[in-house]
Structure 1
Amino acid sequence: MPTVNGPELTVRLVDEAARLLGEQGPAGLSLRKLAAQAGVSTMPVYTLFGDKNGLLGAMHREGFRRLGAALDAVPHTDEPLTDLTELGLAYRRAALESPHLYGLMFGRIVPEFSPGADDRAAADLSYQPLVAGVARCQAAGVFTDGDPQRIALHLWAVSHGMVNLELNGQLPPIADPQQLYLEALDYAGLPFLT
């Protein structure tokens, strides 16, 4: 059994809150309802999160922690372009594994939630592996010179757009979603190849 107020309970509550958010929308998410659904008293829920905004902040940070862990798990090989593609695949997997957290991280699923400074810092950290991957491609002579931040933003925009289309069931049924995603990544990188 998870320790009261321990990290295991926090993760379990975040996952349960994400499920509630996905099923019932923002109005269906409250700390009392979360406690009841998770089978715990309200005291640890209020102790951990304080209020609904605190819960949403924890969900936001946990989503980015998971995304960061997925990106950090991609190994560096002698093929930086392949590694960059693997980063894109890790991004997609993280989004598909936690779609409701992803919606909170990058959308307005809860319009009244505004990420705080800690939440934005967590988001910024998860972006750095992509910038570093672009810089590695440039250093290897695979990508042209230029600001790696700008190139990374372009690649992320394509990846993010494809993931959103997939999560919202809006991809055309012309091929397997992963195949479409990989094609989009290939096309996104074309302008930067040497």
Structure 2
Amino acid sequence: MLIARAAHMLRVREPVTLRSLVAGTGMSTMTVYTYFGGMDGLWGALRQEGFRHLADRLQRVARTDDPVRDLTAMGAAYVSTAVASPDLYRVMFDDGFKLEDPAQADETLFHLVHAIDRAKGDGRFRSEVDVLGLATQSWAIGHGLTSLIITGPLPIEAFAHAAPMLTALYVSNGDEPERCRRSVMLGWSEIDTSSVRA
């Protein structure tokens, strides 16, 4: 309950203090210390919840016989998760607060690594492609664009730029241009940005 409340307060730009967090909940400020060891622990738990939720969402992306489509669909799932919970998304990447289970954050990246490994195995990417490097580049495209959109400088329409960027990235790593374009368009079509605030 306190994690959800803190996330909501962030979303509506309310100051999150010990007192404001427990106000109206029937809990005392000691509850935050009992369960989280203080406010830093609460922020760490909030980060952890964000990565847990993202890992769960990536795990649910359907696996097809097209690994490039699946890789792109994971990017669409990443974006959809971020725009549905921008408050959690922002806190997830604040490394000032320690994660209880850093491996859970790593798991989100490794979903991309596995999809890229499949694409290499299917001959879509060159055999010498650095799988972790390509996963990181794919993540950087999604994260950068998402951050610029949910914090305001870019309009929601800018998400349309992701598909050409991903296509160029994957073609540069060996995929055939037209086949890649089709795969990326299929995967990216699963994006859900309906919750982005105007």
Bin of the TM-score, shorter chain as denominator length: 0.7 to 0.9
> 1:31 is matched with which residue: 6, 14, 18?
18
Q: 1:9-158 alignment to 2 at 5 Å?
A: 12-24=1-13, 28-36=15-23, 39-42=25-28, 43-107=30-94, 113-116=96-99, 118-145=100-127, 146-158=129-141
* Native 8 Å contact 1:159 1:184 kept in 2: no
- The alpha-carbon deviation at position 40 of structure 1 amounts to 3.1
Change (3 A) 1:155 1:93: same
CA distance in 2, matches of 1:104, 1:63: 8
Structure 1 position 159 matched with structure 2 position 142: yes
79-88 vs 122-131, which moves further = 122-131
TM-score between the two structures when normalised by the length of structure 1: 0.80
Change (3 A) 1:119 1:60: farther
Higher relative contact order (CA 8 A, sep 6+): 2
- The alpha-carbon deviation at position 41 of structure 1 amounts to 1.0
CA distance in 2, matches of 1:193, 1:169: 35
CA distance in 1, matches of 2:170, 2:152: 25
Which residue is 1:6 aligned to?
none
CA distance in 2, matches of 1:18, 1:184: 31
Report the number of matched residues.
Answer: 173
> 1:179 is matched with which residue: 160, 181, 194?
160
- The alpha-carbon deviation at position 45 of structure 1 amounts to 3.7
Unaligned runs of 5+ in 2: 176-198
160-169 vs 179-188, which moves further = 179-188
CA RMSD, 1 decimal: 2.1
Q: Which protein is richer in helix relative to its size?
A: 1
Identity %: 35
* Native 8 Å contact 2:41 2:98 kept in 1: no
* Native 8 Å contact 1:18 1:100 kept in 2: yes
- 1:64-97 Cα distance to aligned partner (Å, 9 max, x none): 0011011000011111111011000000011111
Which residue is 1:9 aligned to?
none
